[in-house]
């Protein structure tokens, strides 16, 4: 933020120190109606478990999405809230797709 510059409108998020602005990602999750902000494919049961995570623990889902985008490996593992099975969420850097696999 530049000194003397006008303040952003209320509710607008400023980029973090690395220049990332997650307002679009968070807005996409708030307005989520059965769709993820990115294309999602892979294991059908894993996708169902991600959708259940959205209903039960949206903060954790936001963390997973941020982690898969910023991690060096481009992957993160999570446990399904209902079945307890471990799944792996993998980012495809070329197509900007997320793939769910059983870990």
Annotated domain spans of the chain: 23-102
Give 18-27 pLDDT, tens digit per residue: 555 545 545 4
Q: Are 49 and 87 in contact (CB under 8 A)?
A: yes
Q: pTM of the prediction? A: 0.60
State mean pLDDT over 52-77. 89
pLDDT of residue 76: 94
pLDDT of residue 38: 66
Q: 81 burial class (0-12, 13-18, 19+ CB within 10 angstroms)?
A: middle
Structure-token pair, residue 96? 């900007």
**How far, in Å, are 2, 20, 26, 30, 49 from residue 23 at the CA level?**
20, 9, 5, 10, 24
């Amino acid at each position: 933020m530049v000194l003397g510059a006008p303040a952003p409108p209320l509710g607008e998020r400023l980029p973090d120190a690395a220049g990332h602005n997650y307002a679009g990602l968070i807005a996409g999750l708030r307005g989520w109606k059965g769709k993820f902000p990115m294309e999602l494919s892979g294991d059908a049961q894993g996708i169902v478990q991600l959708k259940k995570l959205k209903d039960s623990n949206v903060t954790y889902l936001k963390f997973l999405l941020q982690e898969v985008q910023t991690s060096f490996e481009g992957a993160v593992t999570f446990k399904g809230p209902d079945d307890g099975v471990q799944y792996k969420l993998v980012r495809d850097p070329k197509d900007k797709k997320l793939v769910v696999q059983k870990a």
